[in-house]
Structure 1
Amino acid sequence: MIIDLTDTSSSKIGATLVQARRRAGSPTTGAVLTLIISTEERHHYDAMKAASRASREHPARIIVVVGRPEVARTRLDAEVRVGDETGPGEVIVLRLYGELSAHADSVVVPLLLPDVPVVTWWPDAGPDVPSNDPLGRFAARRITDAAEYHKPMDKLRARAAGYSPGDTDLAWTRLTPWRSMLAAALDQFPRKITGASVSGEEGNPSARILAVWLRQRLNVPVSRTADEGPGITGVELHTPDGPIALTRPDGELATLCVPGQPDRPVALKRRETAELIAEELRRLDPDDVYAKLLQDVDVPFTEPLKVAGPTVEKAAKEAAKLGEPKPVSTTDSTAGTDVKSADGSPAPRESA
């Protein structure tokens, strides 16, 4: 059910939502959180679709905020969606025109569900300091994606300077399967690690962060090699017996190579945005590991670590706890390199 409201108000939207639920036979909602999506018109449909899929695991009221400051006349239009493709939750699409786009919080706050957490997600470049954004101030978690900016390292540096507990980034979330697989390899085949290397698409922030994480957790030199991708294409952990290698050249199937063992294919498909958002919604407490990562993300590889890393065995056991992403440290020579398309404009970023 989709109900369009033109030149409306927050109170009218709330009343319409209650009527729509009753008409659909659901007078109450089982939502466990409110998910606010702050985006541009061109991104709003894909973001809404991804959030609706994630809400099947985490029932939520989804509020999509699309600002149109270039329009002279101040006006609020809305779409109320209940049932069908929206999943078990509800979707409210708000289009804020004119000066109203600078006061999105005044429109959104009356539509928040009472006594449930609020999560704000920016699917595009997003603000440098999410906690200072009008829609980020009252959120328990704030989700950004540095890969959507043409200079992702610039975004990470800005967010490191303005970090607040509750901030996180999908460039970090994309690394969970890689960290899990590498931790499992070290757990099954413990070796003394003397160095590591990460290869991946030039300018990909997840490849950069993975290299930093490995260096801090293993306390060994880590190199970063740029290639055509897609995303991260391989990781090697150097040992006296030979490299432990996890390679994924096609973005679908990876191969795990361990000295003295036959090569093994492993599933390591690049995940869609809905899966990433669903993972982030599983934990609404501050990500302390991401915070520590930001502290060290811009330290050159030539400088020593701020804190000595743990043993390989301890790092493997800690990293295997998938719900608790682990910290990283420092930068590489390819960090922040811009990728441009044939016409000279920034090329779109891919996930890890």
Structure 2
Amino acid sequence: MIVDMPATDTRSVAKRLVKLRESNGVITTGRVLTLVVCTLDSSEAEDAIDAANDASREHPCRVIVLARGDRFADTRLDAQIRVGGDAGAAEVIVLRLQGDLVNHESSVVIPFLLPDTPVVAWWPRGAPEFPSKDSVGRLALRRITDSTFAPDPREAIGKRLASHAPGNTDLAWSRITYWRALLASALDEPPYEAVDSVTVSGLREEPALDILAGWLAARLSCPVHRRIGELRVELHRPTVSIAISRPQTGRTATLSRTGEPDQRFALARRETKDCLAEELRRLDDDEIYAEALSGIAKVTYE
């Protein structure tokens, strides 16, 4: 069910939400968190809602979508409530802000936060420079950004360390979860030699590769080179070289090891909904992510 409420206020939206729960049997029992999605405009909101709905099937939650409009327009709040089949396992409140409300996002959000549940803030695009200091970010226990869609993705992921605070994370980190697992598994086989050097190559505008290079530099304490080219990670040991490669738009990766037959693995690019669901599984500080960010400074760019 979708209910539109043009030119309204937060009190009216809250009352209508209560009535919908009473009349349709929708309850908040079992909601494990409140997910606040901060979008740049209404056109971006639908993609974010779709991803949040899919993630809510694993993490039942209330989703509050802030769609920021023209801050110089007349002050206005247009709301939409989605419950039932139109909201996955969540209940979705879409708040379209105009005028002065754009500068007071947290005041609009607070009336809809579920009591006694953690708050997670997610910026699909246009993340603030310091998420933990943002008005919505200060309400959240966990703050999720996505440098992949920044104007300069490499620059964005490079700046994440300066703005890092406990609870911050980036979906570029989640996009390499399976790559990290494959690399760790490949290194956990004989010969158990130290890694002399690493080469990470791929598209320049793919920040997931930059943070992957940073993670390897931090964990292996060896020279790591980041290059532009085919999607490939090479680990060089004194007697063995290990490489994982995949076509840029492919779904299957090849693991090559000196003196052994190639192995093939399913390794498609992860969708936003899967990365978001992964990040919602933990609400504590991700120390390995912070370590990977610090490792980017040790990477040599070629």
CA distance in 2, matches of 1:157, 1:178: 20
Q: Which residue in 2 is equivalent to 1:18?
A: 18
Q: Once the 2 structures are TM-superposed, how far is the Cα of residue 28 of structure 1 from its aligned partner?
A: 4.1
- Does residue 247 of structure 1 match 2:245? yes
SS in structure 1 of the partner of residue 73 of structure 2: coil
Counterpart residue number, 1:269: 268
In structure 2, C-alpha distance between the alignment counterparts of 1:67 and 1:136, rounded to whole Å:
15
Q: Is the 8 A contact 2:218 2:292 kept in 1?
A: no
Contact 1:65–1:94 (Cα < 8 Å) also in 2: yes
SS at match of 1:17: helix
Partner Cα distance (2:19, 2:87) in 1: 17
* Alignment check: 8 A CA contact 2:215 2:295 kept: no
**2 CA distance for matches of 1:123 and 1:103?**
19
Partners of 1:241 and 1:181 in 2: CA distance: 20
SS at match of 1:160: coil
Secondary structure of 1:127's counterpart equals coil
Deviates more, 1:241-250 or 1:72-81: 241-250
Hey, what does 1:332 align to over in structure 2?
A: 300
RMSD: 1.6
Change (3 A) 1:184 1:157: closer
Q: Any idea what SS the aligned residue of 1:11 has?
A: helix
- Residues 237-277 of structure 1 deviation map (CA, whole Å, 9 limit, x = unaligned): 11233311111114310011122322111111111100000
Gaps of 5+ in 1: 300-329, 335-352
The more displaced of 68-77 and 114-123 is 68-77
CA distance in 1, matches of 2:90, 2:252: 34
Shift of 1:159: 3.1
| Offset, 1:71 | 4.8
How far the C-alpha of 1:70 sits from its partner, in A, is 4.0
Contact 2:216 2:292 in 1 (8 A): no
Contact 2:2–2:86 (Cα < 8 Å) also in 1: no
Secondary structure of the residue aligned to 1:235 is strand
In structure 2, the partner of 1:238 is: 236
Give the residue type in structure 1 aligned to 2:65. V
Structure 1 residue runs of 4 or more that deviate by more than 6 Å after TM superposition: none
d(CA) in 2 for partners of 1:58, 1:109: 21
Q: How many pairs were matched up?
A: 299
**3-state SS of paired residue (2:299):** coil
1:115-157 CA-partner distances (Å, limit 9, x unpaired): 0000000000311100111110110000001111122233234
Show the counterpart of 2:211. 209
Q: Deviations over 1:192-247 (max 9, x none)?
A: 222111111123211111112112211221222212x6xxx111111233311111
1:195 is the counterpart of 2:197: yes
Higher strand fraction (1 or 2):
2
**Tell me, what secondary structure is at the counterpart of 1:116?**
coil
Listed one character per residue, the Cα deviations across residues 168-206 of structure 1 (whole Å, up to 9, x for unaligned) are 111111111000001111113444222111111123211
Contact (CA 8 Å) 2:120, 2:142: kept in 1 or not? yes
Alignment check: 8 A CA contact 1:69 1:99 kept: no
* TM-score normalized with structure 2 length: 0.94
Secondary structure in 1 matching 2:261: coil
- Partner of 1:8 in structure 2? 8
The answer as to 2:37 corresponding to 1:37 is yes
Conserved 8 A contact 1:129-1:158: no
- Asked if structure 2 preserves the Cα contact closer than 8 Å seen for 1:191 and 1:239, the reply is no
- TM-score using structure 1 length: 0.81
Return the alpha-carbon distance in structure 2 between the equivalents of residues 259 and 154 of structure 1: 35
Residue type at the aligned position of 1:23: S
Any unmatched runs of 5+ in structure 2?
none
Contact 1:120–1:143 (8 Å) recurs in 2? yes
Cα 1:159–1:237 shift into 2, 3 Å: closer
Paired residue secondary structure (2:270) = coil
1:33/1:119 contact within 8 Å kept:
yes
CA shift for structure 1 position 13: 1.1
What SS does structure 2 have at the residue aligned with 1:188?
coil
Task: Name 1:324's counterpart in structure 2.
Answer: none
Which letter maps to 2:149?
A: E
Which piece of structure 1 moves more, 99-108 or 246-255?
Answer: 246-255
* Maintained 8 Å contact 1:51/1:277: yes
TM-fit CA distance, 1:51: 0.5
Q: Distance in 2 between matches of 1:215 and 1:169?
A: 19
- In 1, distance between residues paired with 2:183 and 2:291? 20
C-alpha contact (below 8 Å) 1:18/1:27 kept by paired residues: no
Equivalent residue number for residue 152 of structure 2 = 151
Q: Following the alignment from structure 2 to structure 1, what is the Cα–Cα distance between the partners of residues 190 and 126? A: 40
